[in-house]
Structure 1
Amino acid sequence: MFKKIMVFALAAVAAVSSAFSGASVRVAAVVGAGSLALTAATPALAVPPDMSGLTNEVDFSTAIAALLLVAGSLMVVYIVVKASQLVLGMVKRG
């Protein structure tokens, strides 16, 4: 089906470009034929593929738990560093 559409689009480009000699008309004909081909091919792509068989089998709960563990650990490290800087600053001013 796509080959038939492309043949029709190329025939339209050839007919328009041979009828007119301006370069802008040729560009417009190519763009118009390309958009015609894409518009005609769109109904074939209107129904997305069914990926539910793949997505139902994926479980991200362990990955999410690991990410939260790493984020919590980094948060604790940053809090300890900030608190130690605060205490050392108080001792130096002291």
Structure 2
Amino acid sequence: MSAEVQTCGKPIQTLVEHVVNVNILSSEYFKELYRLKTFHEVVDEIYNHVDHVVPWMTGNSHGPSPAFCLLCKFFTMKLTDEQVQGFLNHADSP
């Protein structure tokens, strides 16, 4: 049995810059992520919607990027060491 990944005992909002965190939590995209319940569903969402990693979307929209919304989604899940290692070592993971 794998151990759960810890967040160093800190709340999620202390792990991401305040303005980014507020914008993520209030974004429609992040709210839509509540429908994703499993690790594999979130990984599929990353594969389908993330092509770069920056805190803000580019262009005229200044909302949080899908990458950071999905990162925060992972923070809300109790990922195991095995899931994190599998994600990092996956062939599609840069």
**Which of 1 and 2 has higher RCO (CA within 8 Å, sep 6+)?**
2
Tell me the TM-score range normalised by the shorter chain.
Answer: under 0.3
Q: TM-score, structure 2 length as denominator?
A: 0.24
Q: Could you say which structure has the higher helix fraction? A: 1
